[in-house]
Amino acid sequence: MTAMTPISPERAAILMREGAVLVDIRERDEHARERIADARLHAASILDRDHPARPGDEVLIFHCKSGNRTTQNATRIAAGIPADIDTYILEGGIDAWKKAGLPVTVDRSAPIPIMRQVQIVAGSLVVIGAVLGATVASGFYLLSAFVGAGLVFAGATGFCGMARILDMMPWNRRSTSPAS
Residue 49: other Cβ atoms inside 10 A: 6
Q: β-strands 40-41, 21-24: how paired?
A: parallel
Number of H helices, E strands in the chain: 8, 7
Q: In whole angstroms, give the CA distance from residue 22 to residue 13.
A: 9
Distance CA(135)–CA(116), nearest Å, equals 28
Residue 64 known to be catalytic: yes
Secondary structure E strands in the chain: 4-7, 21-24, 34-35, 40-41, 59-63, 86-90, 105-106
Please identify which of the residues 41, 43, 60, 64 carries the catalytic annotation.
64
The β-bridge partners of 147 are: none
Name the packing angle between helices 141-157 and 114-135 (round to 10°): 150
Give the single-character DSSP code of 76: H
Q: Which residues are catalytic?
A: 64
